[in-house]
Each structure stands twice: as structure tokens, then as C-alpha cells.
Amino acid sequence: MDSYHHGNLRAALLKAAFQLIGKIGPEAFTLREVARRAGVSHNAPYRHFKGKEDLLAALATDSFRQLNEAVIRGIAGAVEAPVERLRAAARAYLHFGLANRARFQAMFHSTFDRQEYADYVANYSAALTLLDGLLVECLPPGALPSEIPGQLVWASIHGITELGIAARLEDGDRERLLLLVDAAVDTLLKGLQHVRM
């Protein structure tokens, strides 16, 4: 394993890291293990990453980018009614989390200095802005200050998704989790109709 003979070293390293995260979590592995799993020399990861934190940031950034794309695809097929668009976004979020458990680990359970990675911050902010805009469309003008709506809907959907991944809600049954996500959106909207912050 003195040299790398595949076409895309970075992609191979990211894939190997996701496989390890899926088995042992985002904090327990080393770059040496990533290299071994990718079939390259132990120094190969340093061609693309300064260290483990850099690799984790790349994994989280790519995962947020994919999440945002999944949510946008989800609402693209929804009817124009704002509530239906928000429900579609919530369902897409749940689907993404259940199908990409290692990515969720990288996004929300890995340790790195998030403010040092502008691309990560941009993709994280894009997710919040997207959910914020969808929820604001469902509410009367001026119902809530900027950014609060997105945080509320994100907290609700994310909580259900995390508990679904852990099989703590409905034993992880996808259809029942989708019903819970719909109910959370509807309940949140009903409550927010009467809130002024």
C-alpha cells in the first residue's frame, strides 16, 4: 500500500470514513484506519485533509449539501400550498436521515470547530434558511422574528428523525414516523398561529 492506484483518492477516503462512522461512530476512528479501509498508505489521507477534524468537516459539509438537495427535491414535487410544501420538506428530511445514518452522525455528532469551515457554515445556514422560508410561508406576516421559525421546525423534525434512527419512536417504522412528522408540522403550525414573540 505504498501508493494509491484508484481514480479518486478523496472520494475513496470519504467513503471509507462513512463506513467507519456507521460502525463505530464519528469519534472512535483514526485517519490510519480510514487509509487502511480505503486500501492506501497511512499517509495518503494527508494529501486531502490536514487531520481528522478536517476530514470530519468535509463529511459534514458534504452531508449537509446532500440534505439540502434532498429537501429541495422533496418540495419540488409538492403542490403549491405552503403547508404541503413544509410537510414535503419534513418528510424529505426524515427520509434522508433514515437512509443516511452515518451522514447524520457526521453532521450532528462529530467534533470539529465549525466556524473555521466556511463551506460547512454556508451549507448549514442554507438548511436553516430553507426551513425558515417554508415555515414563514405558512404563517401570518410578522408572526415570528426572523430565523426563529426555521429553528422551531428543524428542532421538531430533527428530534423525530434522530429518535427514529435510534428506533425509539414507533420502533423506527418509516410509515408511522412519516405520520409523526406530518402531525408535528400540523401541531407546530396550529400553535404558532397564536404566538407573538
Question: Domains, the chain, ranges and CATH?
Answer: 1-49 (1.10.10.60), 62-192 (1.10.357.10)
Query: Whose grid coordinates read 440534505?
Result: 67
Task: Spell out the alpha helix ranges (H) of the chain.
Answer: 9-24, 31-38, 52-76, 82-99, 101-108, 118-138, 148-165, 174-192
- Crossing angle between the packed helical segments 101-108 and 52-76, to the nearest 10 degrees: 120
Check residue 3 and give its pLDDT.
47
List of residues 6+ apart from 172 with CB closer than 8 A = 98, 164, 165, 166
C-alpha cell at 63: 452531508
List of residues 6+ apart from 159 with CB closer than 8 A = none
Check residue 145 and give its pLDDT.
61
Query: Whose grid coordinates read 483518492?
Result: 9
Q: State the Cα–Cα distance between residues 171 and 95, nearest whole angstrom.
A: 15
First to last CA, the chain: 60
Where does residue 21 rank: exposed (0-12), middle (13-18), buried (19+ CB within 10 A)?
buried
Check residue 51 and give its pLDDT.
93
CA angle 108, 109, 115 (to 5 degrees): 65
pLDDT by residue for the chain (197 residues), tens only, comes to 444 455 689 999 999 999 999 999 988 889 999 999 999 999 999 999 999 999 999 999 999 999 999 999 999 977 789 999 999 999 999 999 999 999 999 999 998 999 899 999 999 999 988 988 888 888 877 666 665 667 888 899 999 999 999 888 777 688 999 999 999 999 988 877 665 54
Check residue 173 and give its pLDDT.
87
